[in-house]
Amino acid sequence: MMKKISKKWFSLAIALSASVVVSAAAQAQTWEQWIDYGYPGYSETGESWRTYEYYAAHDYSYRYLSHWDRGLPRVGTATWKTDPLPYHGIYEVRVTFRASENRTPEANYFVVKDMYGNLEEHPISQLGEGVETVVLGRYEYRKGQQPYVLLDGTDDNYSDCADAAFFKLIEVLPDAVGPAVDLLLLRKEK
Ligand SMILES: [Ca+2]
Ligand SMILES: [Ca+2]
User: pLDDT tens digits for 11-26?
Assistant: 555 555 555 555 555 5
Q: Which distant-in-sequence residues (6+ apart) come within 8 Å of 132 by Cβ?
A: 96, 97, 98, 99, 126
- Residue 116 CA, ligand 1 centroid: distance in Å: 25
Q: Is 15 helix (H, G, I), strand (E, B) or coil?
A: helix
- Residue 83 CA, ligand 2 centroid: distance in Å: 18
Residue spans of the domains in the chain: they are: 30-176
**Angstrom distance (rounded) from CA 135 to CA 127:** 17
**Angstrom distance (rounded) from CA 101 to CA 93:** 25
Looking at the CA of 110, which ligand is closest? 1
Q: What is the mean pLDDT of the chain?
A: 87
Model pLDDT, residue 152: 98
92-113 residue pLDDT tens? 999 999 999 999 999 999 999 9
Model pLDDT, residue 176: 56
Per the model's pLDDT, the better-predicted residue between 165 and 186 turns out to be 165
122-142 residue pLDDT tens? 999 999 999 999 999 999 999
Which residues have C-beta under 5 Å from ligand 2, the single-atom ion? 36, 57-59, 62, 163-164
Q: Is the pLDDT of residue 1 over 90?
A: no
Single out the residue of 156, 164, 145, 82 nearest to residue 123, CA to CA. Answer: 156
Alpha-carbon distances, residue 159 vs 98, 101, 188 (angstroms): 11, 10, 64
Give the homologous superfamily in CATH for domain 30-176. Galactose-binding domain-like (2.60.120.260)
What letter would DSSP give residue 59? G
Looking at the CA of 39, which ligand is closest? 2
- Residue 168 CA, ligand 1 centroid: distance in Å: 26
Distance of CA 12 to the CA centre of its chain: 37
- DSSP run (H or E) holding 8: helix 2-27
- Residue 147 CA, ligand 1 centroid: distance in Å: 21
Distance spanning both ends of the chain, measured CA to CA: 20
Looking at the CA of 63, which ligand is closest? 2
**Angstrom distance (rounded) from CA 57 to CA 68:** 21
Q: Residue 1: is it exposed, middle or buried by C-beta count within 10 angstroms (0-12/13-18/19+)?
A: exposed
- Residue 77 CA, ligand 1 centroid: distance in Å: 10
Q: Is the pLDDT of residue 162 over 90?
A: yes
**Angstrom distance (rounded) from CA 94 to CA 91:** 10
Q: What is the per-residue burial (b if ≥16 Cβ within 10 Å, else e) of 14-47?
A: ebeebbeebbeebeeeebebbbbbebebbebeee
